[in-house]
Structure 1
Amino acid sequence: MSDASFDTKTRICPQTGHYEAQFGDYFELLKPRVMSLVVFTAFVGLLVAPVGVNPVVALASILFIALGGGASGALNMWYDADIDRKMKRTQSRPIPSGRVTEGEAFAIGMALSGIAVVMLALAANLMAGALLAFTIFFYVVIYTMWLKRWTPQNIVIGGAAGAFPPMIGWAVATGGVSLESVLMFALTLAWTPPHFWALALFTKGDYANAGVPMLTVTHGRKATRAHILGYTVALVGVSVALGLTSIGGPVYMIVATVLNALFLKGAWAVWRRTDDDSEADKHAAERGLFKLSLLYLFLHYGALLAEAALKPYGLGGW
């Protein structure tokens, strides 16, 4: 049907009343903000590896890793459409808003998954392809279909899906897994709970309305604040351990020390809150920690890149 049959502003067909989805609607299915983190951490994992990669192979590999991350997002939105309709934060997503059907999201997710895994295996190696396949499976089946609706520790275990990309990038370059790639995985894994629980503390009503057993819903604010502090301490330990490996160095350790001090301070401020505090005070600390968490991970991986860039000049690494 031609565009003339649709209202040019609303994209609604007057004959059927159906919305004509556009490229942007389908792209939104891929969760581009999450995909950007996947691409960045995978790119860092590839670049800091001790083995050089042909630029064409590197770019192709990152593209297929991005497609795999986007496929996971589309399948997540397909399965979680019922939850997304109940949460204010997600009601404007393509499926709840009626811009894309659940069937379309499923088809796009499955097609992109197959393309991404097969092409990454062909462009790089079987290990990288297998890790990407497992990442998609873990995010869609283990986290989305099982953990998210079953346990308040959903984000702790499910966070592994978002932690695999640097390992995949490392595998693209080396064809395997090492202590360095495992610790990059562990850094993102340990970062995920305090990052998401800080968000959940000021969106508690959304998760309760949707029936998602987030820790804030099942155990309350006090327990969530204590968990945030505990996982932050573990995160600091992983951050320091990563800095002592072959991909760390003085630049990384300086950045990590500053960020860890700030993150511990923020987690401590959240932990010290009580239910007697005003909602505004609670949200100020929680929002502050959430925003800091975004900067925390980005700068850690940025510092790893800086170390890799300085090594040819004898300035990076230990």
Structure 2
Amino acid sequence: MSDIRSFDGAPEAGIRDYFALLKPRVMSLVVFTAFVGLLVAPQSVNPVVGLASIFFIALGGGASGALNMWWDADIDAVMTRTQSRPIPAGRVTPGEAMWFGLTLSVLSVVMLGVTANWFAGAFLAFTIFFYVVIYSMWLKRSTPQNIVIGGAAGAFPPMIGWAVATGGVSIESILMFAIVFMWTPPHFWALALFMKSDYSKAKVPMLTVTHGRRVTRAHVLVYTLLLAPLAVGAAFTSIGGPIYLTVAVVLNALFIWGGWCIWRRDETAAEADSYKIEKKVFGFSLMYLFLHFGAFLAEAALKPWGFGGW
């Protein structure tokens, strides 16, 4: 079937294109970690309010994605893995993406404030601002620490979920933030190692471009080592317990081992096997985060039965 086209011959945007602007894969992480933050909080929330809140948090995450695609359209047109996105492919104009993102941003923030509380709404507004302005507009194109500092935007959702239930912040929500924050650099740097020239073509100062792959490999190992005590330490708070501790110890040992394997490699060996280890560590890093937060969820689910927690 041929593409539907507008009067000027350009492909016409469809629902799938606007959905793609929301970065659904990234949104799934936002939804899951926010959902866990909400459910493990000490205060219970009406199920309708809880589900509505998660929807608006997801909408805010999607709005951030749309505004990021609007700002980064020039980069996306150069990088191989992003050339088929709606804006560089010509299915959505930059202006349409901008207004789509801005509209969803305002809607999500206002509706979360009305549905849950205004602290959570303000927290969501700050998260959108941080991702779009601090990360996308400033850090991404100016420093190799873009992923390190900018990773905070992706780490805020569990704190927002917690704020929906409690109206505030606690050591538990900060630790959930810290786990995602410290996980982000080794996760993305493992990807950058096998993305080869994409970032250099787009003139994005990723660590692999500015400091080389040897330095990037060392940074992956260092961050897995720094992440481990934070992840394991969360086991000894009110949201942890023996199940989470077991999961955290095993996963962090494996992540450190993956970081060690990446650090030991040289480019000749990596190129020879098409960056097989780097791809495995990147894939494992996705599972790592979901299993940690799944363990938090398991502890919360088992507490009413006398099994979860200490």
TM-score by length of 2: 0.98
Contact 1:57 1:123 in 2 (8 A): yes
Q: What corresponds to 2:2 in structure 1?
A: 9
- Please, which of 168, 174, 177 is the counterpart of residue 176 of structure 1? 168
Alignment deviations for residues 79-115 of structure 1 (CA, whole Å, 9 cap, x no partner): 0000000000100000000110000000000000000
- How do 1:1-318 residues align onto structure 2 when only pairs under 5 Å count? 9-13=2-6, 15-281=7-273, 283-318=275-310
CA distance in 2, matches of 1:315, 1:107: 49
Per-residue deviation, 1:280: 3.5
Per-residue deviation, 1:19: 1.8
CA distance in 2, matches of 1:150, 1:214: 9
Per-residue deviation, 1:212: 0.1
Task: Give, as a single letter, the amino acid of the residue that structure 1 aligns with 2:96.
Answer: E
Per-residue deviation, 1:278: 4.5
Contact 2:270 2:276 in 1 (8 A): no
CA distance in 1, matches of 2:152, 2:287: 20
Task: Give, as a single letter, the amino acid of the residue that structure 2 aligns with 1:11.
Answer: I
Per-residue deviation, 1:275: 3.0
Secondary structure of the corresponding residue to residue 248 of structure 1? coil
Per-residue deviation, 1:288: 0.6
CA distance in 2, matches of 1:201, 1:178: 36
Per-residue deviation, 1:75: 0.1
CA distance in 1, matches of 2:206, 2:135: 13
* Aligned positions, number: 310
CA distance in 2, matches of 1:296, 1:278: 23
Per-residue deviation, 1:204: 2.9
Alignment deviations for residues 128-175 of structure 1 (CA, whole Å, 9 cap, x no partner): 001100000000000000000000000000000000000000000000
CA distance in 2, matches of 1:275, 1:172: 47
Which runs of 5 or more structure 1 residues have no equivalent in the other structure?
A: 1-7
Task: Give, as a single letter, the amino acid of the residue that structure 2 aligns with 1:72.
Answer: S
Per-residue deviation, 1:282: 6.1
Per-residue deviation, 1:177: 0.1
Contact 1:204 1:217 in 2 (8 A): no
Per-residue deviation, 1:281: 3.4
Secondary structure of the corresponding residue to residue 197 of structure 2? helix
Per-residue deviation, 1:69: 0.1
Of residues 81-90 and 269-278 in structure 1, the stretch that sits farther from structure 2 once superposed is 269-278
Per-residue deviation, 1:241: 1.3
CA distance in 2, matches of 1:87, 1:30: 19
Per-residue deviation, 1:258: 1.0
CA distance in 2, matches of 1:114, 1:277: 49
